[in-house]
Amino acid sequence: MALNVVIMAAGKGTRMKSARPKVLHRLAGTSLLQHVLDAAAGLGAARTVVVTGHGAEAVEASVAGQGPAGSLVCVRQMPQLGTGHAVQQAVPALDPALPATLVLNGDVPLIRPDTLRALLAASAGTKLALLTVTLADATGYGRIVRDAATGLVRAIVEHKDASAAERGIREVYTGIMAAPTALLSRWVLALANDNAQREYYLTDVVAMAVAEGVPVVTAAAGGETEVLGVNSPLQLADLERRLQRQRAEALMEAGVRLADPARIDVRGTLACGPDVEIDVGCVFEGEVTLGEGVRIGANCVLRDTRVDDGAVIHPFSHLEGARVGPGALVGPFARLRPGAELGPEVHVGNFVEVKNSTLARGAKANHLAYLGDATVGERVNYGAGSITANYDGANKHRTVIGADAHVGSNCVLVAPLTIGAGATIGGGSTVAKDAPAGQLTVARAKAVTVPGWKRPQKVQKAPKAG
C-alpha cells in the first residue's frame, strides 16, 4: 500500500522502573515494539519510520534489517518534547510520494491489523482519521471533543488541559491516527507547546484540520484490549494475561484440550493436530508443532520442537530444538537439547539428557543418563547412569551404538567410539575402544572377597559422671 508508518518509541517509560527501554520489554516473548511492527507488517507499508530516543541504540538494533532494504528507518528524537515533536522528527524520513501516513504507539502492542485497515479506510487518503475508544474511566487520556450540534470532531483536549466538563467525556483518543502525508507533515511542523505540559502535542493537529476545513473522522477500536498501553509492570502483566487468554481460546476453538486456559503460555506459535491435550503450567516458545493425540504433562517447557502423533511428554520435561517421533514417551524430568531426534516409539525417561543425538525406533534410555553426539540404533537399551564422554576438553566426538546393543548401567562411553550391533557392554564399564558386534565387552575391576574381614565395632562411650 502507498503508506508511511510512524511508530513513536522514544519515551522513557519511567514507571517501568527499568534500565531497559520500555518498548523492548517483552510480551509473550516478543518486544512491545515488535508486536507493533508485526501488526503494521500486514498493511504493506512501503516506508516505516521508528522514532527512537531513550535507549536508542538498543531499540534501533532490535529492528535492524527488517523488511525490504531501506523500508524501515529509525530517526532520533533528542530530547523528547512530546508526541508532536516525535512526528516532527519523522517528517524528513517520510516518503512524500506515499499519500497516507499512519501514526502508531510503540507501547500499544495488541493493536489488530483489521482495526488499522478500517482506520486507513476512514482516512481515505484525504481525511484525518482518529482511532478512538469509549472507556468507563477516561482519566489521563485525550478527550474527543465534538460539536454539540453536528457531532463532528472539533479537537482533542489532553486530560491535563481539559475543563471539568471535558473531563466528563468518555470517548478518548487511543494515540493512533491516519492522515494524508502532506497535510500531517505541514501540521506537525507548525505545532506550538503552549499547554499544561509544555509539550508539542500531536493531538493539536485535529484543531488545525478543523480550521482548514479538512474532514476529521473517527474509527472505533474493536475493544479496550487492543488499545491498552504499557506504562508499568502491572499493565505489562495485565496485557500478557489478556493475550495469553486470547491464544488459549483460539487453541480451544481449534479443539485443543487445555486443562486450564489460565495456565498456559504461548510465546511464539503453537500448531496442534486433533485431540491434543495440554496439562497446566506449560510454556511454548518459538515454533512448536504437536501432532495428533499428543499429550503434554504438567509444567513442561517446549521450544522450537516438533512432537509427532501419539507421543506423550510427561511432566516437568524441557525440550529445545528437539524432534520427538510418533508414539515416543518422554519424561518425567527429561531434557532434550538441540539436535535431539527421537524416532518412533523411543522412550526417554527421568533425568535423561539428550543432545545432538538420534535415537532410532524403539531405543530406550529410561533413567539417569546422558547421550551427547550419539547415533543410537533401533531397540538399543541404554542403561541407567550411563554417559557418552563426548568432549575431550577441546573437541566433541561421536558415539555410534548399533541396533539391539545393550549398554549396562553406569557405563562411560569414551568417544569417538563405535559399539557394534547386538553388543552388550557390562555394567560399570569405561569403554575407550570400539566394542565388537554381538559380544560382551566389560571393563571393570573384578570383585574380590576378603576372607576373615570384620566390620568395625562401635566404641561404647563411658557414662557421664554425676
Q: Which residues are catalytic?
A: 367
Q: Is 173 in the site for ligand UD1 (CB under 6 A)?
A: yes
Q: Do 365 and 342 form a contact (C-beta atoms < 8 A)?
A: no
Nearer to ligand UD1, 74 or 86 (CB): 86
Q: Do 141 and 229 form a contact (C-beta atoms < 8 A)?
A: no
Stretch that binds Mg ion, among 21-29, 113-121, 222-230, 272-280 (CB under 5 A): 222-230
Q: Is 187 in the site for ligand UD1 (CB under 6 A)?
A: no
Rounded to the nearest whole angstrom, what is the least distance from the CB of residue 267 to Mg ion in the complex?
A: 25
Stretch that binds ligand UD1, among 173-181, 205-213, 270-278, 310-318 (CB under 6 A): 173-181
**CB contact set of 455 (below 8 Å; sequence gap of 6+):** none
Among 102, 156, 219, 342, binds ligand UD1 (CB under 6 A): 156
Nearer to ligand UD1, 228 or 330 (CB): 228
**Unique residue bearing C-alpha cell 513442561:** 300
Residues in binding contact with Mg ion, number by CB under 5 A:
1
The CA dihedral of 413, 419, 421, 427, to the nearest 10 degrees, is -40
Contact pattern from residue 177 through residue 216 relative to Mg ion, giving x for each residue in contact according to CB under 5 A and a dash for the rest: ----------------------------------------
Among 62, 83, 88, 181, binds ligand UD1 (CB under 6 A): 83
Q: Which of residues 87-116 bind ligand UD1 (CB under 6 A)?
A: 105-107
Rounded to the nearest whole angstrom, what is the least distance from the CB of residue 52 to Mg ion in the complex?
A: 17
CA distance 383 to 406: 8
Tell how strand 153-157 and strand 143-146 pair up: antiparallel
Tell how strand 171-180 and strand 128-134 pair up: antiparallel
Which residue, 404, 414, 411, 415, is CA-closest to 425? 411
173 binds, among Mg ion, ligand UD1, none (CB under 5 to 8 A by kind): ligand UD1
Q: Is 327 in the site for ligand UD1 (CB under 6 A)?
A: no
Tell me the CB-side half-sphere exposure of residue 166, using CA atoms within 13 A.
19
Nearer to ligand UD1, 45 or 227 (CB): 227
Which residue, 367, 442, 440, 438, is CA-closest to 412? 442
Contact pattern from residue 229 through residue 248 relative to Mg ion, giving x for each residue in contact according to CB under 5 A and a dash for the rest: x-------------------
Measured CA to CA in angstroms, residue 386 lies from 91, 434, 441, 464 at distances of 65, 16, 15, 51
CA distance 232 to 445: 64
Nearer to Mg ion, 197 or 269 (CB): 197
Nearer to Mg ion, 139 or 395 (CB): 139
Q: Is 86 in the site for ligand UD1 (CB under 6 A)?
A: yes
Q: Which of residues 6-65 bind ligand UD1 (CB under 6 A)?
A: 8-11, 51, 53
CA distance 334 to 350: 5
Among 103, 110, 115, 141, binds ligand UD1 (CB under 6 A): 141
**CB contact set of 140 (below 8 Å; sequence gap of 6+):** 159
Mapped to the 3 state alphabet, what secondary structure does 254-306 carry?
CCCEECCCCCEEEEEEEEECCCCEECCCEEEEEEEEECCCCEECCCCEEECCE
Q: Which of residues 301-340 bind Mg ion (CB under 5 A)?
A: none
Q: Which of residues 199-218 bind ligand UD1 (CB under 6 A)?
A: 201-203
418 binds, among ligand UD1, Mg ion, none (CB under 5 to 8 A by kind): none
Rounded to the nearest whole angstrom, what is the least distance from the CB of residue 140 to ligand UD1 in the complex?
A: 7
Nearer to ligand UD1, 49 or 340 (CB): 49
Nearer to Mg ion, 12 or 76 (CB): 12
Which residue, 181, 172, 41, is CA-closest to 99? 181
30 forms beta bridges with: 27
Stretch that binds ligand UD1, among 3-11, 259-267, 272-280, 306-314 (CB under 6 A): 3-11
Rounded to the nearest whole angstrom, what is the least distance from the CB of residue 72 to Mg ion in the complex?
A: 23
Residue 250 is inside which H or E element, if any? helix 233-253
3-state helix, strand, coil in the chain (%, to 5): 20, 30, 45
The amino acid occupying position 188 is V
Classify each residue of 11-28 as buried b or exposed e, where b means 16 or more C-beta atoms within 10 Å of its C-beta: bebeebeeeebbbbbebb
Among 77, 132, 357, 429, binds ligand UD1 (CB under 6 A): 77
Rounded to the nearest whole angstrom, what is the least distance from the CB of residue 205 to ligand UD1 in the complex?
A: 10
DSSP secondary structure string, 147-193?
A: -TTT--EEEEE-GGG--HHHHT--EEEEEEEEEEHHHHHHHHHT---
Nearer to ligand UD1, 160 or 257 (CB): 160
- Give phi and psi for 449, each to the nearest 5: -115, 125
Among 21, 55, 109, 175, binds ligand UD1 (CB under 6 A): 175
Nearer to Mg ion, 229 or 297 (CB): 229
Which residues contact Mg ion (rule: CB under 5 A)?
Answer: 229
Binding residues for ligand UD1, rule: CB under 6 A, are 8-11, 51, 53, 77, 80-83, 85-86, 105-107, 141-142, 156, 158, 172-175, 201-203, 229
